Amino acid sequence: MGKNSTLNKVISLLGSNYIKSRLDTILDNNFLEQETKIILKMQTGIEYYKYIIKNKKIDRNNTINSYIMWIYDIVDRLDLSKPVNFIPSRISMPDIDVDVPINKRENVINYIKNKYGHSKVSQMITFNTMKGRGALKEVLRVYGNISFEEMNRITKFIPDEAKIADELQEMKEDTGEASIIKWALENKSEQLKEWCYLNEDNSLSGPLAKRFEQAIRLEGTKTHQSKHAAGVVISSTDLNLVCPTIYDNKNKQTIAGMEMQDLESIGVIKFDILGIAMLDKIMTISDILKNGE
């Protein structure tokens, strides 16, 4: 590791030779360099962070997402037989989710606000956008000359974004844009050729080619704005100095007026503080049993 590497700074701040010896066993330090930069901003919160997620079940098969947990000593070891797919163009801050009972969620958020400052912590907005299947359905519905049944028959071959996320990312890196509908036309060509198909020059042909073209142009269009269900962002400076804020009339508070990727690009980190109803039920049952009821 380099003399001034992020990892050495982390090791110094944590004061742990144990962590240093563990880090030295990992060959892919380039990946760790990127993943651990954020720790420099949150080392004082490690003990509380470990406390509130100590019962969280970590997916040990997901090597990348487990690195941060491993550095914190929340998981005992990583499966080094599974290589880390390090893609420099796709480096991002770690995605850390914290599951808490719904009735404790506000307590956790208030703790974070008190710890880092109310002006530096807030929830954030999110924009709902048209996805491939939804965009195509909207176009077909507006023209009104296709039955609901046939509409469903066409769009069932358009996959959900989450199922092809990696392929879409590769498409964006290769062509500068990512389209779920274009992916379907390339990979589900036999099923869709009755209505639309791709030519060798990437133009579209078929009885519904114009409809498909319109739907592709609509993909990613923002439809409405809402507050992110779980996202809480932490900034090193007052949020109103680094990003726009909007007023949430329902909760009578300001929230960050940018989405996750944009906030990360200016150095703001996002945590998902998830309120899970099942945890409320488990805690209630536990209390009942403890009290002998």
The predicted-structure confidence for 244-285, as pLDDT tens digits, reads as follows 999 888 888 889 999 888 888 888 888 888 888 888 888 888
pLDDT of residue 2: 46
pLDDT of residue 10: 52
Indicate the domain borders of the chain: 1-88, 95-129+222-293, 131-220
Measured CA to CA, the distance from residue 84 to residue 31 in angstroms comes to 8
The predicted-structure confidence for 19-30, as pLDDT tens digits, reads as follows 556 555 554 454
What mean pLDDT, rounded, does the chain reach? 77
Angle, to 10 degrees, between the axis of helix 209-218 and the axis of helix 180-187? 140
pLDDT of residue 251: 80
Look at 199 and 20; give whichever has higher pLDDT: 199
Measured CA to CA, the distance from residue 121 to residue 119 in angstroms comes to 6
The predicted-structure confidence for 50-60, as pLDDT tens digits, reads as follows 544 444 444 44
Task: Record the tokens describing residue 46, joined without a space.
Answer: 């490690």
Confidence of residue 286 (pLDDT cuts 50, 70, 90): confident
Least confident stretch, 57-71, 132-146, 223-237: 57-71
Residue 45 pLDDT more than 50?
no
Q: Across residues 106-117, what is the average pLDDT?
A: 89
pLDDT of residue 94: 64
The rounded percent of the chain whose pLDDT value lies above 90 is: 29
pLDDT of residue 69: 60
Residue 34 pLDDT more than 50?
no
pLDDT of residue 16: 53
pTM strictly above 0.85: no
Judge whether 140 and 195 are in contact, CB under 8 Å: no
Look at 37 and 278; give whichever has higher pLDDT: 278
Least confident stretch, 62-71, 89-98, 123-132, 251-260: 62-71
